[in-house]
Structure 1
Amino acid sequence: MGNLDKDTQARVNQWLSDEYDAETVKNVQDLIDQEQETELLDSFYKELEFGTGGLRGIMGVGSNRMNKYTIGKATQGLANYLKKEFPKEEIKVAVSYDSRNNSQSFGHLVADVFSANGFQVYLFEELRPTPMLSFAVRHFGCQGGVMLTASHNPKEYNGYKAYWNDGGQLVAPHDKNVITEVNAITSVKDIKFDRNEKNIHMVGADFDQLYIDANLKLSLHPKAVKAQKDLKIVYSPIHGTGITIVPKMLEAWGFTNVTVVDEQSKPDGNFPTVVYPNPEEEEAMSMAMQKGQEIDADVVMATDPDADRVGVAVKLPSGEFQLINGNQIGSLLTYYVLSSKKELGQLKDNQYIVKTIVTSNLFADIAKSFDVKCYETLTGFKFIGEVMTKLLGKETYLVGGEESYGFLVGDLVRDKDAVNSCAFIAEMAAYFKEEGKSLYDVLMKLYLEYGYYKEKLISLTKKGKAGADEIKQMMADLRANLPKTLGGIEVVEVRDYQHSESTDMQSGKKSKIDLPKSDVLQFITKDGDVISARPSGTEPKIKFYCSVKDQLEFTSEFGQVSNRLDDKVRLMMDDIVKD
């Protein structure tokens, strides 16, 4: 193993010591004996770090893998930090887990460590969605919480989302401070693994009703639901936690005609019917769409394994079903909430919505037309939650979302909530059906009124240490050679969130960006197009986002305008995406 650097070799040697159990030591030794140098490097070249979604990685042995010791170390570090931040309080934490392989055992491991540290632990008896964990943190008055999930990642992954006392994921300074505490743990002996049973309180199915009842109070048009109670809804949990609560929520809302995709209804961490359990992917939505076609559904929905993201397919005038993207779902929800609030006389001066910097500006256009403020945050719903917490008691949050299929209506939680979103999407479909419109009709209405926004996302996967280095170099090259044109269109502004500054490309004038630092570059063209480059905080990927806009005069021109924008997007992306 002569090519391993000194720090990596030191980590390997540590994991061969008697601090670790015999099975772990054997697994490390097997990698050495089999001369699996690349696997050793990827497994040990660093410690897992908190990104935009917390701790996430491939399950296996090593400091850069999800396993008993990395999870135990993260939990002990979080526990040490909570003790420092709340020295005079009895500390309470909530713990939940999704359907992934090992999620339940990891969840109990986390509960063990917290209980051994003297914390009162509210542990879900069975798998439940991420938003319910956020709700539990707030409901039980906890100082923190942990959700075991890798969201929509492939089956080899698991993850650890850490939450603060507001029910939101860790943000600055807590995220970095927890890492400091985690890194301060140099020995497995510093981790308290011995479960203290009397400190663990099981959260049962009766908690579901508390969450359902709280959401039901947010309903905007119960009369429309009552009139359209037999609305044909197809729902798939894609082998995840959504099955435990989404059908119950829709039933409580008043919908009586919900068809669950049977082949994907059972929680299963191997996700046997899909390549990726991600509702952003057409392949993952295909069974639900097929079922929608069979029964002539009004709306088709599917949630990811921890039920914080939702994908939607709508019926076209032809009767065929078509997936809509996260920007379109969020725009529909934003319009529905704001137009309904206006209709009901509930719009006030101190209300707001939130979007991320890579989410469609259609959100902001809709908000502006209703005289509602739109705040912008960095990518990651934890930053939307942070805005909600900062403005609590001063301004009122209505709705928010991000292009990656995460949305939230109302402020019951501080994270994206696909269960809440499913209920509102169904209610929205019922309300507009009462008016004789489909969701597709409403989307066309938005494009006619605000302009046709079209977006594209390209993700390049770069695995392991070599991949991480390559992504870092790609961003460095972009900064060193800022494009003057994209697709033949002049770039007039560059926003560098890493350096917190925006540059006018014509005058050279720089202005401050008032957001936390983040490794994101945005290029704004003279046409108002927005192209963004951003390494993912949760996956070994670099992502390129493109958003363009054109006027749509008549729905009959939709295909023509769409093709024109496709060509524009392709030319721009060809100029910036170098694989």
Structure 2
Amino acid sequence: PAIRHLGAVAGVEVTASHNPPRDNGYKVYLGDGSQIVPPADAGIAAEIDAIASLHDVPRPESGWETLDEAVLDAYLARTDAVLAAGSPRTARTVYTAMHGVGKDVLLAAFARAGFPEPVLVAEQAEPDPDFPTVAFPNPEEPGAMDLAFGRARATDPDLIIANDPDADRCAVAVKDGGDWRMLRGDEVGALLAAHLVRRGVQGTFAESIVSSSLLGRIAGKAGLPYEETLTGFKWIARVDGLRYGYEEALGYCVDPEGVRDKDGITAALLITELASGLKEEGRTLLDLLDDLAVEHGLHATDQLSVRVQDLSLIADAMRRLREQPPTRLAGLAITRAEDLNKGTETLPPTDGLRYTLDGARVIVRPSGTEPKLKCYLEVVVPVPERADLPAAHARAKELLEAVKRDLSAAAGI
């Protein structure tokens, strides 16, 4: 947002993001406020490679300026436009900054909006580059949300909100039966889309290929344009006429005119507004998810993610799948197999494989930020009536587990 506010030609963010502290690095943004894509990345890398010694790099001692709070004030002023005028603001939250930078900005945004002050997970509230309470400061990782769940059990809020350390991701947890569970990124993505549709927004809805196809159905029924991009907000942010974009890895762009990237603060505001409205109706986020399943079919997603020490194992798995592609997964015939290295009619080339099945979809790709092979799974189960939801959930779980098992065998992982 600072780039767009100041009219800068580029910006750099130094961050470990949601990765371990040893993975500290930086993100580069160009003048439109979105992250770099080819060929800018190769050009920057070439300039770095051309440096023989840091002593050769000029470092001026003047001519630069340390910004004051005006940039933050401008961002907070924009957060007002994320919410609908006069909307309910009653949902109570537990919040964790995951040892990152989100706390003060989120608290200021929530206070400005008139939400109840979030209850903090004190052990994770202040910035700490060592991330002492978590192995990986990513809300998706097992154990990362345990302290937040404990705080919620003690205070009984309406929802839990978590940011990752650089606060561009937003995780949401809800009470499901007697305990708390994380919503999947695809579930939050669909909820925010449904909320924006209900508010009557106009513009293009977009997502990456690894995210749930439910967004396309929501947009289609609402008569809104829809686009699919390669993985990453560097692609989503470049969609013409973008009004809302999301990716399953807990990233949501709800104010593209202000922030051409995923933003965990404005996403937290919007999901809390939605929870507040449902609370006034005596309903929850889970009730709305059930509505969407009945309307569009139950879109259930999961991920098979394998972290490796030896990167050659990822290359071996991709080569095995290309040379000996599976013909069936979970008993479902693969009706279309695409090697995304060759690109498609709408997507540029990328290292990935996409399998389309009757009622399911699988994408396999190396992670762009971590030593992982990632497999993104989706099954779609029809839900004729609301009473059919339990059976649909059971069938979806069964199919996802079977797809995981068969895909693991096919990839040799």
Is the counterpart of residue 273 in structure 1 residue 139 in structure 2?
no
Query: How far did residue 319 of structure 1 move?
Result: 4.8
- In 1, the alpha carbon distance for the partners of 2:116 and 2:333 equals 53
- In 2, the alpha carbon distance for the partners of 1:276 and 1:462 equals 15
Cα displacement string for residues 328-383 of structure 1 (whole angstroms, at most 9, x for unaligned residues):
01110011011111xxxx54xxx211100010001111111101111100011111
Alignment match of 1:218 (pick from 82, 100, 125): 82
Query: How far did residue 282 of structure 1 move?
Result: 4.4
- In 2, the alpha carbon distance for the partners of 1:470 and 1:171 equals 27
- C-alpha contact 2:110 2:117 (8 A) present in aligned 1: no
Runs of 5+ in structure 1 lacking a partner? 1-134, 501-511
- In 1, the alpha carbon distance for the partners of 2:387 and 2:143 equals 29
- C-alpha contact 1:535 1:541 (8 A) present in aligned 2: yes
1:532 corresponds to which residue? 363
Aligned AA (1:307): A
1:323 corresponds to which residue? 182
1:199 corresponds to which residue? 63
- C-alpha contact 1:154 1:277 (8 A) present in aligned 2: yes
2:225 corresponds to which residue? 373
2:43 corresponds to which residue? 177
- In 1, the alpha carbon distance for the partners of 2:178 and 2:282 equals 15
RMSD: 1.6
1:36 corresponds to which residue? none
Alignment match of 1:523 (pick from 344, 355, 359): 355
Is the counterpart of residue 291 in structure 1 residue 126 in structure 2?
no
Matches within 5 A, 1:104-115: none
1:26 corresponds to which residue? none
1:436 corresponds to which residue? 282
- C-alpha contact 1:532 1:545 (8 A) present in aligned 2: yes
**Residue 107 of structure 2 aligns to a residue in which SS?**
helix
| Runs ≥4 residues deviating over 6 A | none
Query: How far did residue 288 of structure 1 move?
Result: 1.4
Aligned AA (1:179): A
Query: How far did residue 160 of structure 1 move?
Result: 0.8
Matches within 5 A, 1:384-403: 384-387=236-239, 391=240, 395=241, 397-403=242-248
Query: How far did residue 222 of structure 1 move?
Result: 3.0
Larger relative contact order (Cα-Cα within 8 Å, sequence gap ≥ 6): 2
- In 2, the alpha carbon distance for the partners of 1:477 and 1:281 equals 27
Q: Percent same amino acid at aligned positions?
A: 33
2:398 corresponds to which residue? 567
Q: Which one has a bigger Cα radius of gyration?
A: 1
Cα displacement string for residues 85-129 of structure 1 (whole angstroms, at most 9, x for unaligned residues):
xxxxxxxxxxxxxxxxxxxxxxxxxxxxxxxxxxxxxxxxxxxxx
Matches within 5 A, 1:493-508: 493-500=336-343
2:73 corresponds to which residue? 209
- C-alpha contact 2:82 2:266 (8 A) present in aligned 1: no
Alignment match of 2:102 (pick from 239, 242, 248): 242
Cα displacement string for residues 490-549 of structure 1 (whole angstroms, at most 9, x for unaligned residues):
11101221112xxxxxxxxxxx43212100100001x23111110011111111111001
1:15 corresponds to which residue? none
- In 2, the alpha carbon distance for the partners of 1:376 and 1:530 equals 14
Q: Structure 1 length as normaliser, TM-score? A: 0.68
Query: How far did residue 290 of structure 1 move?
Result: 2.0
- In 1, the alpha carbon distance for the partners of 2:136 and 2:54 equals 34
- In 2, the alpha carbon distance for the partners of 1:562 and 1:442 equals 15
- C-alpha contact 1:221 1:427 (8 A) present in aligned 2: no
1:233 corresponds to which residue? 93
Alignment match of 1:541 (pick from 352, 372, 379): 372
Q: Structure 2 length as normaliser, TM-score? A: 0.95
Matches within 5 A, 1:54-73: none
- In 2, the alpha carbon distance for the partners of 1:479 and 1:221 equals 52
Aligned AA (2:220): K
